[in-house]
């Protein structure tokens, strides 16, 4: 992999509401934001800068998010501030058996419109100051159809300038009007992707796969050169053009909360690859970070609890 000093991560961060001891607590959360925080923590001391690309408003919640991200060393120059939109909100309800339910208010969130805040060529110029762009299926799902097409064009133009594209499938059926549209846009984005993170359960929901080989074969046919298949506590697979590696997950005895397990795995993998690790070493780093995160409550663990990779 060519040297990488700047990574842009595209997505959405929302206001989080959850009960703790009967009291409603407010925080922040989002799949790609989790990845951005962990990637920044793992690489900033090595001179790698992580930028977050999203839309926010001119409100106290947006200002608090920006402050928190900057404290993590995340560059916020590409956070576009809407004059009339606010961040989305989600609430977590936890049943007695520990099962969690999520409720969302995000249909008119500022992050839905960030692509309309700037001219396309201006966005390309700013994103091309990075050597890698990372985004997820949720980054794709939350925006409108016309913005999705703009995003594909944007990534295509950046890739022609040498920027690597990394995509995490993170499929959420409720965010798409129908499965056909989701498949269409996933096909388009995978066709401009260099590195794909696939959670196999999501591939099953999206494509109806019966076995991991189907997901791997289809993704290779889209032209993706590096494929990481995440399988929770089971071994992960890493497939390149000429070889396949199986990397065992680390045994964790005390699982507290699996929130952000996949997001943190992606951060660990990316960090190790950026710092010069091969694919097997990077998968092990992903397991190590995710294995640490699930031993703590919440998506973002204390910085002092971070493992070394």
Q: Which residues are catalytic?
A: 263
> What is the distance between the alpha carbons of residues 151 and 174, in angstroms, rounded to a whole number?
21
Closest listed residue to residue 261, CA positions, set 89, 37, 34: 34
Q: Any residues with CB less than 8 A from the CB of 100 and at least 6 apart, and which?
A: 92, 93, 94
Tokens 């388009």, residue located? 188
Cα→Cα distances 44→63, 74, 102, 127, Å: 23, 9, 32, 19
> How is residue 154 written in tokens?
């944007």
User: Closest Cα partner for 27 from 76, 98, 89, 104?
Assistant: 89
CA end-to-end span of the chain? 18
CB environment 213-225: b (16+ within 10 A), e (fewer)? eebbebbeebebe
Give the residue ranges of DSSP H helices in 2-80.
31-43, 60-71
**C-alpha triplet 89, 95, 99: angle, nearest 5°:** 80
Rounded Cα distance between 5 and 138, Å, is 25
């Amino acid at each position: 992999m060519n040297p990488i000093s700047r990574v842009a991560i595209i997505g959405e961060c929302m206001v989080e509401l959850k009960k703790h001891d009967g009291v409603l607590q407010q925080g922040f959360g989002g799949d790609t934001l989790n990845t951005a925080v962990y990637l920044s923590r793992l690489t900033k001391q090595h001179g790698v800068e992580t930028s977050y690309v999203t839309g926010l408003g001119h409100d106290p919640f947006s200002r608090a998010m920006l402050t928190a991200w900057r404290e993590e060393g995340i560059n916020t120059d590409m956070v576009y501030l809407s004059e009339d939109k606010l961040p989305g909100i989600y609430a977590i309800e936890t049943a007695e058996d520990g099962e969690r339910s999520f409720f969302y208010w995000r249909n008119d969130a500022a992050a839905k419109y960030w692509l309309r805040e700037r001219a396309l060529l201006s966005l390309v110029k700013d994103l091309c100051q990075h050597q890698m762009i990372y985004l997820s299926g949720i980054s794709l799902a939350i925006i409108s159809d016309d913005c999705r097409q703009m995003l594909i064009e944007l990534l295509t133009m950046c890739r022609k300038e040498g920027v690597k594209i990394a995509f995490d499938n993170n499929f959420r059926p409720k965010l798409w009007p129908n499965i056909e549209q989701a498949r269409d846009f996933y096909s388009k984005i995978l066709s401009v992707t260099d590195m794909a993170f696939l959670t196999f359960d999501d591939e099953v929901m999206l494509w109806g796969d019966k076995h991991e080989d189907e997901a791997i074969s289809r993704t290779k046919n889209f032209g993706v050169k590096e494929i990481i298949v995440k399988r929770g506590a089971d071994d992960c697979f890493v497939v390149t053009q000429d070889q396949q590696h199986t990397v065992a997950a680390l045994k964790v005895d005390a699982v507290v909360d699996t929130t952000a397990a996949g997001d943190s795995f992606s951060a660990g993998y990316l960090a190790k690859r950026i710092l010069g690790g091969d694919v097997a070493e990077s998968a092990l780093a992903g397991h190590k970070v995710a294995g640490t995160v699930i031993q703590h409550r919440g998506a973002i663990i204390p910085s002092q609890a971070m493992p070394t990779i």
